[in-house]
Structures are given as C-alpha cells and as structure tokens.
Amino acid sequence: MSLPKDTEIGTLVDHLFRNQYGKMVAVLTSIFGLEHLGMAEDMVQDTLLEAFQRWSYGKVPPNPEAWLMLVAKNKALNALKREKVKQKVYQAQQYESHRPDDLDHFFGAAEIEDSQLRMMFACCHPAISKEDQIAMVLKTLCGFGNKEIARALLLGEEAINKRLYRAKQTFKKQQLQLTVPTGADLNKRLDAVCTGLYLLFNEGYNSHQGETLIRKDLCLEAMRLCQLLLVHFPDKTKLPALLALMCFHVARFDSRIDNKGALIIFADQDRSFWNTSLIQSGMYYLAEASKGDTFSAYHLEASIAAQHCHATSLETTNWKFIQTLYQKLYELKPSPVILLNLAIVAGQVNGPKEALKQLQLLLSERKLANYHLLHATLGEVHLQLGNHSKALAAFQQAMQCHPSAKEQAFLKEKITRLDQSS
C-alpha cells in the first residue's frame, strides 16, 4: 500500500475535475456519437470517482489530466468490446473507419480540443432553445452538476433537469451530428455559439442575485470557451471582440460589490480595484478584433467598455465618443435598453435636462415601463435637478418593479434619505 508521503495537495489545479469532465465528455461523445451522450457522462463520472478513491489514499499522479484521460479511454475500450454497445455504435455513428481497439486518435491534444469545439456547436445548435443551450453548455462543456447549474441560474433543480432532458431528446430526435460546420453555414452557426456564450456570460455578470463566486465562474467559463473558439477561428474578428468585452467586464467584477455584499453603482466604484491585467488583455483582443473588415455589436460593446476602463474617473471619461458608439450600437441592435443607456450618456454630455427629456420620451412610449433601472435612473436625474419629490416618486416606482434584493436595499437607502430631508 502507499500513503501520501509528501505534500501533494497543492498539485491539484482549481476546478481540475470540472474542466477535465468537460474534455472527457466531449472526447467520449465523439467516439460514441451524440445520441450516446448520457453514456459518455456516466463513464466520465466513474472515471472521476476512481480518481477520487485512488488519489485520496495514495499520491496524485504527476500528470493528473493524462491519468484521467487514460482511465476514460480504457472505459471507452471496455464499452466497445461489449458486443451490444458495439452494434449500437456501428449503427449510428460516423467514425466507422476507426477500429474499436484504435482509440488513440481521439485522445491527441488537438483532437480533444476539436471535440470540445464540436460539442459547443452541438449545444448551441439552433434546434435547441437559448435557455436550454446555456444549461447544456454548463453541463457538458463546463462540467457543472445539475444543482450547481440551478444555483447559478437561480432556478430549481427540476427545471434544469427538464432543460437538459429536452436538449438531449432533440439531439436524438433530430439526429444532430457532432461536426464543426463549414462553408456558408459556419458564420451563421458561429453566430449562434457566440450568442450562447454571450448569454452565458450575461447570466453571470448581470444578475445581482445569488452567490457572487458561482456567478463569476459563469463569466470565466464563457471566456475560456470563447478563447478555445478563437484559437480555431483566428480570422473571425467577432470572437476577439466578444472576448475583449468579457475581459473589460470581468475586470470590474469585484468592484461592484462592497465588503458587506451591497451593490456599488458605477459612479462610486473604486477604480483601483479594477483588474489591470484583464483590462490589458481586453485591449489586446480589441486591437485584434479591429484587424478584420467585419464589424459587430460585440465590437461596439467592447469599445464602450474600453472607454470606461481607459478613463481615470467619471469626469475624464470620453462621454461624447461613448455616445457615438451607443448610437451606432442602436442602429445595429435597436433595443430600448440601449435608448436608456443613451439617455444616461446624454446626461453626462448635455446635462441632466437632456437626460430627463430622453427618459420621458421612453416613458411616454411605454417602453421599459416595468424596468426598475429606468425608474431608478429617472430618480437620479430628478435628484440632480433638485426635484426631490419627483425623485422620491421615481425611486418608489422602481421598487414596484421587482428589483433584486441587493438593488432593493440600494433603493431603500435612497428613499429613506429623501424622506428624511423633506
């Protein structure tokens, strides 16, 4: 028997199991076909269990990733040897040319990455609904457990089980293949994958509910997958644009919450908490993104975020340029939320009166009528103009729009202060 002799604990990388889970599931699914995803998941779970048992009693092998892959490979070999599975596999799958005992091909470093890529395209296939896509990406590519997905997306575990089941059924019913699209199809499908990753990122970034740690994980996972895409499609400038956007946002992640867990609005954020190395990465990717001739909403959103990261304070921010960028973004993506942002920027460029005009226009068109941030913004603008009673009414209106617990606390403080001063 062997017992741990040296300090071996530090040798395990954070999230090693989770990350390897995603890789192994992708590889095994490449071998068995998308319709056998469930079987691949079970084999990978067994592989991790085996590691758990052996490593806790003995030493962690010098290369844990390779050890896991080898065990997974042996499990796949054993499964192929079992006649029943072999027949099923041969009936359905596209890798007939490979002899069952020759699996090495699937386990090369490049092929492992390709498997993940194929899996990304499968999970973000247009036949799968957007909400199901996010759950599938988290499960199959990021190795999250159903409970963790539920916690991250603020949903019940039952809802997550349903989403995953529905997506797997679609894989089977529509006989979706694990392939990377080519030719004219590629751009369209790549857009879908980008949207999927963008939504995954936003789930982590924009919600102010739930645990900060797990939400930040969602952002980092979206970045990791985006990087993987970028390595394979270096010419698609949408990818570095999206990645730049993610870098800039994550750079500011920690400054949005104070040490008591309360929300800090942008104007009050301590810029010294911003992660400069992530900002630098963002700048690098943004420069990469501008090398091509394509232009996307991600380019604009990343440029806007870059402007904020560049500026040393709210006052020195180039609001005029940000205004132009938002106007262009609105042309590409005409959404009322961008109009709200434009109103806020107008406040900085032309003063609060202009902001008020634009906000009232939004209100009169009944756009975003139930969006708490519209009313909260209106409240701020009224405050700046000295209309305290109108500000109070707006903040109270915002409270009616079901803001998150943290936002409620923030609004309550505003309301109490106004109540006291009046």
For residues 190, 193, 197 and 200, what is the CA-based torsion angle, rounded to 10 degrees?
160
* DSSP assignments along 67-105, one per residue: HHHHHHHHHHHHHHHSHHHHHHHHHH-S-TTS-TT--GG
Chain-centroid distance of CA 159 in Å reads 19
Number of H helices, E strands in the chain: 19, 0
Rg of the Cα trace of the chain? 25
Of residues 189, 177, 278, the one with CA closest to residue 236? 189
**Bridge partner residues of 263 (DSSP):** 257
Residue 367 within binding range of other proteins, rule CB under 8 A: no
Contacts with other proteins by CB under 8 A: the residue count is: 30
Task: Give me the 138-157 binding string for other proteins, x by CB under 8 A, dash otherwise.
Answer: -----xxxxxx---------
Residue number, 132 or 148, with CB nearest to other proteins: 148
Of 117, 51, 40, 98, nearest to 73 by C-alpha is 40
Binders of other proteins among residues 283 to 322 (CB under 8 A) are none
Does 20 participate in binding other proteins (rule CB under 8 A)? yes
Told to check if 26 binds other proteins by CB under 8 A, we report no
> What is the DSSP secondary-structure string of 329-370?
HHHHS--HHHHHHHHHHHHHHH-HHHHHHHHHHHHHTTTTTT
Q: How far is the CB of 3 from other proteins (least distance, A)?
A: 6
Q: What is the DSSP letter of 59?
A: P
* For other proteins, the closer CB: 84 or 99: 84
Contact between 220 and other proteins by CB under 8 A: the answer reads no
By beta-carbon proximity to other proteins, the closer residue of 9 and 110 is 9
User: Which residues from 44-103 bind other proteins, rule CB under 8 A?
Assistant: 45, 48-49, 51-57, 60
Task: Decide whether 49 or 265 has the Cβ nearer to other proteins.
Answer: 49
What is the CB neighbour count within 10 angstroms for residue 286? 22
Could you say whether residue 216 binds other proteins (CB under 8 A)?
no
16 versus 363: smaller Cβ distance to other proteins: 16
Among the listed ranges 13-21, 69-77, 290-298, 325-333, the one in contact with other proteins (CB under 8 A) is 13-21
Question: Which one, 75 or 414, has the nearer CB to other proteins?
Answer: 75
- According to the binding rule CB under 8 A, does residue 408 interact with other proteins? no
Taking the least distance from each CB to other proteins, the nearer of 82 and 310 is 82
Mark 105-144 with x for binding to other proteins (rule: CB under 8 A) and - for no binding: --------------------------------------xx
Report how far apart, in Å, the C-alpha atoms of 277 and of each of 9, 45, 212, 252, 282 are. Answer: 28, 36, 21, 11, 9
Which residues bind to other proteins, rule: CB under 8 A?
Answer: 1, 3-4, 7-9, 12, 15-18, 20-21, 45, 48-49, 51-57, 60, 143-148
